[in-house]
Homo-oligomer: A and B are copies of this chain.
């Protein structure tokens, strides 16, 4: 699954409110990162506790409402963002408006890494989210000072690349049923099961976004889900939660 590092850009059209000024004493900033829920993930996981001041002084958390753009495709890539909570969609847009979602980012994922000067895609929250901003120059300095960060970045980028190649296989070869089954299985591997132990997946994003990720229309997605439900593979609990009744059926279909 893609969920992970993304690339995108620039200034949000509707910038989120700027948080109150941060305390700048070492203790305060160290404490902020030390208590971060994404502390062990993303780039930060490559640093030891002693390095936290380096992080806290160069990064800044942002609380965002849903449907808020974080970076815009093509704009100057001057910062990267680590997702602390929530979910974002990453997408590319063709000149005529067609959009392809390349991935969804959740806690620990890093978005905004760019090859050139511009973000490669747009990132936008699909639920209320918290992200942590770090300027590109700060990231560069951090990498120079802590080589482990570069290693972590390489590892994350490699995982992203592998996920992207899986998505290429999905889009190039698979049928609608296979795509949806693969998607549900990949998601279920990343989420905790229900209280009774059966696996389930949480789908906070609108169906049209899932379709845009899988290369399908929302109508088709709806029909496929109905078919999978009829086959006993899944049960739709609510609009945004699906229980996996029989992973084997999904495996066979994927």
Cross-chain contact A13 with B115 (CB below 8 angstroms): no
CB-contact partner of A94 in B5, B115, B173, B215, under 8 A: B173
Q: Which of A23-31, A45-53, A140-148, A183-191 contacts B (4 or more CB under 8 A)?
A: A140-148
Residues A145-183 near B (CB distance < 8 A): 147, 150-151, 153-155, 157-162, 164-169, 171-174
Residues A88-111 near B (CB distance < 8 A): 92, 94, 98-100, 102
Tell me if A19 is interfacial: C-beta within 8 Å of chain B: no
Q: With A115-B162, A158-B157 as known contacts, state yes or no: A136 contacts B11, CB within 8 Å.
A: yes
Most buried by B among A5, A157, A166: A157
With A and B bound together, what is the CA distance between A160 and B99 in angstroms? Answer: 21
Quick one: closest B residue to A77, CB to CB?
A: B10
Tell me if A126 is interfacial: C-beta within 8 Å of chain B: no
Cross-chain contact A94 with B150 (CB below 8 angstroms): no
Q: Which residues of B contact A99 (CB under 8 A)?
A: 173
Tell me if A72 is interfacial: C-beta within 8 Å of chain B: no
Q: With A102-B165, A102-B169, A144-B13 as known contacts, state yes or no: A115 contacts B153, CB within 8 Å.
A: no
CB distance from A142 to the nearest CB of B (A): 9
Q: With A158-B157, A171-B171 as known contacts, state yes or no: A11 contacts B100, CB within 8 Å.
A: no
